[in-house]
Amino acid sequence: MFSSGKVVELFYDDVDKTVCAVLILCFKVLCRYKNARNIDLKFKPAFLTGVIYGSGNQPAVVNPSKLIYMVSDLKLASEYFGVPMFRPSKLSEKDSLNAMRFVTAVAEKGIEGDTLERVSRELWTRKWRTHQDITQPASLTDAGLKAGLSANEVEEILTLSTSQPIKDKLKSVTEETLEYKCFGFPFIVCHVNGKAKVFFGSDRFELMAYFIGNYY
């Protein structure tokens, strides 16, 4: 198994809110540079709503000034990183619990290759490019099939996603973020030579590169 001694953990959620778009940028940039920077990138599905309430933070959407800034900043960042973003005309109030249990089940299934990355990308594409649902079983099935899973694999993962072990796993990873004093996503933990450093946001790549010993 690949190991560079530089482990980067990305805690993320396919959440139906504006912050998700910022997370997509972080996700795609890390995927883009993981080989060039020689890092062992690990995806850690978690539940943002649990983090928000567990940390005492408030969602960006409840602060009009913050929301206006984030939308404007997102447009510029999208252009800079070359990651097209299409903000939904109306933000859904549905949370991402079903989607994140599905993604957690994909991770726990241990399918070889970049399956977890592909499923996550497909869910984001549905929400932020084609503006489709990501909360219902039929929607998750469609996303899984488009990500390359077989019909049998999707059915097994859907069943697994409703099991208590998967519910407990998602809760456990969410609690892990709170132990790091996480208050929102994207949240990244870099491990180098036995030391861990946390980073928040999609504008910390220079500092991350410095910490892991790479130029940016």
Give the pLDDT mean for 39-62. 88
What are the Cα distances from residue 82, in Å, to 29, 38, 74, 75, 173? Answer: 10, 22, 12, 11, 30
pLDDT of residue 86: 63
Average pLDDT, the chain: 86
For 91-141, what is each residue's pLDDT tens digit?
555 568 999 999 999 999 987 679 999 999 999 888 877 888 898 999 999
pLDDT at position 168 over 90: yes
Q: How far is 122 from 1, CA to CA, in rounded Å?
A: 26
Nearest CA among 11, 13, 14, 4 for reference residue 34: 4
Give the residue with greater pLDDT, 210 vs 1. 210
pLDDT of residue 1: 40
Phi, psi of 85 (to 5 degrees): -130, 140
Supply 51's token pair: 């983090």
Give residues with Cβ within 8 angstroms of 7, minimum separation 6: 39, 40, 42, 190, 191, 192
pLDDT of residue 130: 84
Nearest CA among 103, 159, 108 for reference residue 134: 103
Q: How far is 209 from 81, CA to CA, in rounded Å?
A: 16
Nearest CA among 206, 213, 164 for reference residue 29: 206
pLDDT of residue 111: 79
pLDDT of residue 132: 87
CATH of 6-212, one of 3.40.30.10, 3.40.190.80, 1.10.15.40, 3.40.190.10: 3.40.30.10
pLDDT at position 190 over 80: yes
pLDDT at position 80 over 70: yes
Q: Taking the model in full, what pTM does it have?
A: 0.85
pLDDT of residue 95: 67
